[in-house]
Amino acid sequence: MSEREYLAAVYTFSYFGPIRTKLLLSFFGNAGNIWNIDKNDLQKVGISSEKAQKFINYRNEFDLEKYFNRLNELDIGFYTYKDRDFPENLKGLSDEPLILYYKGRLKKSDKNAIAIVGSRKITSYGRDVASKFASELATYGVTIISGLAFGVDVAAHKACLDAGGRAIAVLASGLDLITPVSNSWLGEEIIKKGGAIVSEYPLSHMPQKSDFPERNRIISGLSKAVLIIEGARKSGTLHTASHAAEQGRQVFAVPGQITSALSEAPHYLIKNGAKMATSTRDILDELDMQLKVDSDAVEKIMPEGEDEIKILAMLEKEPLHTDEIIRLSGLDITIVSSRLTMMEIKGMVKNLGSGVYKKA
């Protein structure tokens, strides 16, 4: 067994967690020593007799070879916090996971990531806003991160993929159990289109209520900034924003209708220092993020085709508002939004402001 495999094995014992595991590493030198430790030595460093015995029993029943063979069979890899390819944005955080499992592909460019999170009970306004930000950011080469949950998460993931972008979903379950199960198809689609699903939890782990706030710290940690779209005053949305602030990440919030209970979280955050975001440019300018896509990526995200030709033809005679382009073209709002953004990047159209475009 390698040291990184021992560390992964130790980390499967949920009681230890990242902080306690780091303390054990400082006492016993390496994960191999921890895995093979006896009960008395665990008690000497403050582990209760009950928990120490529970770990010994767990270790004796754990089949190391079977576990790592299962990872290989499922094409699931993992990074330790000491690995060179451990995600850059997580490195050095006080609450970084010591093990991060992944299925799909993680890239160095994922350091340019924005998390989009919000209520599971999404409104039509929230869906439109999540789709708009996710698709437009994706066309700029920004990786979109969320939690694969219902509501804002799903809207952001889907819009990102529809725009040809990269998505990463952070789960509170083991990667052999994509949860929620009804969204497993979307997790598979993210992998199929070049993104990844990730988790710090071992195989077969079923999410508990307490796992979601812990999962949320990874969503924010992997990102340059977090964008909040809808959420109740007391919700997991604020947990993610809190993690982001503690990790030194910029928090953005999209204002909503003042009569909606789901506007309480973003409005609370704006009042308490979050940046208000009403356009993609608000985020890019604040973070000083430049365009991160090369010509090949642009072609992949926005291939020349019928949609582009149709939009250009409509702008031939006069400038049009985005809503009018959507109505006349019959195209989906996320498609029109992403196409116009990429056409502006290419210099084919010009944004006159307030959603009005003309042919360049």
Helix/strand/coil (H/E/C) assignment for every residue in 123-167: CHHHHHHHHHHHHHHHHCCCEEEECCCCCHHHHHHHHHHHCCCCE
| Dihedral over alpha carbons 146, 152, 157, 160 (to 10 degrees) | -110
Q: What are phi and psi of 317, to 5 degrees?
A: -95, -35
Which CATH number, 3.90.480.10, 3.30.450.20, 1.10.10.10, 3.10.105.10, labels domain 302-359?
1.10.10.10
Output the pLDDT for position 291.
42
Rounded-to-integer distance, Cα 187 and Cα 40, Å: 44
Rounded-to-integer distance, Cα 221 and Cα 244, Å: 7
Continuous H helices in the chain? 3-11, 17-28, 31-35, 39-44, 49-61, 64-73, 124-139, 152-162, 184-192, 211-221, 236-246, 264-271, 280-287, 295-301, 306-314, 322-329, 333-345
Give CB contacts under 8 A, 24+ apart, made by 238-245.
238/265, 238/268, 238/269, 239/212, 239/213, 240/115, 240/117, 240/216, 241/265, 241/269, 241/274, 243/95, 243/213, 243/216, 243/217, 243/219, 244/115, 244/220
Order of strands, edge to edge, in the sheet holding 349-353? 320-321, 356-359, 349-353
- pTM, whole model, 2 decimals? 0.81
Rounded-to-integer distance, Cα 98 and Cα 304, Å: 44
Ramachandran category for residue 65: left, alpha or beta (phi over 0 → left; psi -120 to 50 → alpha): alpha
Domain residue ranges of the chain, discontinuous segments joined by +? 3-103, 108-287, 302-359
Order of strands, edge to edge, in the sheet holding 275-276? 77-80, 99-104, 196-199, 167-170, 143-146, 113-118, 225-229, 250-253, 275-276
Question: At the top level of CATH, which class does the domain 108-287 belong to?
Answer: alpha beta
Rounded-to-integer distance, Cα 101 and Cα 178, Å: 13
Output the pLDDT for position 359.
86
Ramachandran category for residue 37: left, alpha or beta (phi over 0 → left; psi -120 to 50 → alpha): beta
**Stretch (H or E) spanning 349:** strand 349-353
Provide the residue type at 4 as one letter.
R
The pLDDT profile of the chain, 360 residues, written as one tens digit per residue, is: 899 999 999 999 999 999 999 999 999 999 999 999 999 999 999 999 999 999 999 999 999 999 999 999 999 999 999 999 999 999 999 889 999 999 999 999 899 999 999 999 999 999 999 999 999 999 888 999 999 999 999 999 999 999 999 999 999 999 999 999 999 999 999 999 999 999 999 999 999 998 999 999 999 999 999 999 999 888 788 989 999 999 999 999 999 999 999 999 999 999 999 999 999 989 988 887 644 443 444 444 444 678 888 898 899 889 999 999 999 999 988 888 888 887 887 678 888 888 899 987
DSSP state of 276: E
25 within 8 A of 14, measured Cβ to Cβ: no
| SS3 state at 343 | helix
Bridge partners, residue 359, by sequence: 349
